[in-house]
Amino acid sequence: MSIIQVHGLQPLKGEIGIQGSKNAVLPMMAASILHKGTVVLTHVPGIQDVYCMKGILEYMGCVCTLEGDRLTIGTDALTDIRIPEKYLKAMRSSIMMLGALLGRCGEAVTCYPGGCSIGRRPIDLHLHALEKLGAQIEERDGVIKATAERLHGGEVNLSFPSVGATENALLAAVLAEGTTVIRGAAREPEITALCSMLNCMGAKVTGGGSDTIWIEGVKTLHDTVFEVPGDRICAGTYLSCIMASQGEAVIKGVCPGQMAAVLQAARQMGAEIKEYENHIAVAMRGRPEAVNLKTEPYPGFPTDLQSPVLSLLAIGKGTGSIRETIFEGRFATALELEKMGARIHLEEESALVTGTYPLKGCTVEAADLRGGAALVVAGLAAQGETTIRNCGHILRGYEDICRDLQKLGANIRRVL
Ligand code: EPZ
C-alpha cells in the first residue's frame, strides 16, 4: 500500500517540467503493432500504465526496451492475439488493442474490461465501430472474439465522442481496404497526436482533432520515431496544486492551447496566468473564487480535472459547483475531502461546494487516479499533515508527484 504525506500551507514556487502524456502514449503503443518493424517513442512517461501496456505488447511477442523516456518497440515477432484478463482488469484502456490487433492480425480475443471506480464504462461504441469496418464480434461468457477476413473502409457514426472508441476505429481503419470516415469523433489532443503519429508511420489520416476524421487505408507502414506530447492533465493537476498553495510558478513542456477551458476556469478562480508557446506562468494570491463548472468532451472542461478542481472549490471563497457529465461515478473523492473539513453536497451528477480554509490534515484514501491527485491538492491547503493511503492509483498516471512538487518546495513525501 503506497502512502504519501503532505504538510500544507507552504506556497509552491519555482518551475516544473511536465511528463509525456499518459492518454497519448497508450494508444500510440497500441498503434505500434500495426507495423511489422520498429517504432520508437520518446518523452514516454515512467508510469504504471505504460509498464502495463509494455507487458501486454511483450506478452504478444513484441520486444520492448525502455531506456529513460525512450521506448523502442520491435513488433516483428508478434504472435499472440489475446489481451489477457489480468491486463484488462489492471488497465481498462488496454481495450484499444482490439483495433490494432484486428488491423495487424485480423483477429483478437479479449474480455469485457468491466467498470471501475468512476463508472460502468461500457464498450458498445468500440464494438459498433469495429463491426462497421467488417469485424465479426462474438461475445460468450464475458469473452469477446473479434475476427475480420479483411477489414474494409466504412462510415462510423459515434453517438458520443468516445475517446477510446475513436482510437479503436482509427487503428482498425489504417490498414483497411478503402476509405473510412469517423463522424462524431472525439477531438481530444491525444487523438490529434495519435493521428500525427499514424501519418508519420505512413498512414493517410486527415481531420484529426475535428469531429470528422477520414482515413484512406494503406497496405504497409514503416519504422517511425515519434515524440509523445506533454500531459495536459498532469499540467492541470500541478496548476491546481500551485493555486491551492497560493504560490507562483512556471509549468513547462505543455501547450496552453490544449488547456483553454482549464486556464479560463483558473482565471475565473483568480489565478494570474501568462501563456507562452510551450509553458505557462501562474500566480495565485489568496483563496480561489467560487465558480460553477461543467465537464464536457474536448474542448470543454476535462473530466480528468474535475476532482482536482473540486479540491480548489473546497477551499474557495463562497459556494461553487461542478457538474460531471462524462462519468457517472466520479465524485468518490468528495467523501474523502469531507473528512478534511470540506463542505460538499452531492446531488445526482453535481457537487455543490461551500469553501472553507484551511482544510484540516488527516488520513484519507485515494479512490482513483485523479481523485488521489485531488487529495494532494487538498493536502497542500490543509493545516497539519495529510496522509493519503492507496496511492498506487496516483502512480498509474503521475511519474513522481512527490519529486515534482518537492521541486516547487512542497513538504511532501512518499512513505511507502
Ligand atoms: C479516455 O477514457 C481517457 N483514458 C480518460 O482518462 C478520460 O477521462 C476519458 O477518455 C474522457 O476524456 C485514456 O485515454 C486512457 P470515453 P475512455 O470512451 O476512452 C461512455 C484518466 O484519468 N462510453 O471518452 O474510456 C463512457 O461510459 C482517464 O486519465 C460508452 O457509453 O473515455 C463515458 O461515460 C480516466 N460506450 C463516456 O462515454 C463506449 O463504448 C466517455 O468515455 C465508450 C464510452
pLDDT, one tens digit per residue, over 245-291 is: 999 999 999 999 999 999 999 999 999 999 999 999 999 999 999 99
Q: With beta carbons less than 8 A apart as the criterion, state whether 115 and 92 touch.
A: no
Q: Whose CA is nearest to atom 4 of ligand 1?
A: 23
Nearest to 187 by CA among 212, 169, 206: 212
Give me the count of residues in the chain: 416
Give the pLDDT of residue 119: 85
Relative to the CA of 326, which ligand 1 atom is closest?
Answer: 34
Q: How far apart are alpha carbons 214 and 177 in whole angstroms?
A: 13
Ranges of residues in the chain whose predicted pLDDT is under 50: none
For the chain, the straight-line distance linking the first and the last C-alpha, in angstroms and rounded, comes to 7
Q: How far apart are alpha carbons 290 and 355 in whole angstroms?
A: 8
Instruction: Give the three-state DSSP class for 86.
Output: helix
* Known active-site residue 241: no
Q: How far apart are alpha carbons 88 and 111 in whole angstroms?
A: 8
Relative to the CA of 123, which ligand 1 atom is closest?
Answer: 40
Instruction: Give the three-state DSSP class for 403.
Output: helix
As a whole number of Å, the CA-based R_g of the chain is 21
Q: How far is the CA of 97 from the centre of ligand 1 (A)?
A: 15
Element (H, E) at 179: strand 179-183
Q: How far is the CA of 163 from the centre of ligand 1 (A)?
A: 6
Pick the catalytic residue: 105, 116, 200, 362? 116
The C-alpha cell at 60 is: 504478444
Give the pLDDT of residue 85: 83
* Residues contacting residue 265 through CB under 8 Å, at least 6 positions apart: 291, 293, 301, 309
Relative to the CA of 121, which ligand 1 atom is closest?
Answer: 27
Instruction: Give the three-state DSSP class for 174.
Output: coil
Q: Whose CA is nearest to atom 21 of ligand 1?
A: 304
Give the pLDDT of residue 84: 84
Amino acid at 328: E
CA of residue 103 relative to chain centroid, distance: 24
Mutate which of 92, 130, 163 to test ligand 1's pocket (most atoms within 8 Å of Cβ)?
Answer: 163
Relative to the CA of 164, which ligand 1 atom is closest?
Answer: 19
Query: Where does ligand 1 bind, in terms of residues with CB under 6 Å?
Result: 22-23, 26, 93, 119-126, 160, 162-165, 186, 188, 303-304, 326-327, 369-370, 397
Q: With beta carbons less than 8 A apart as the criterion, state whether 221 and 34 touch.
A: yes
Give the pLDDT of residue 115: 65
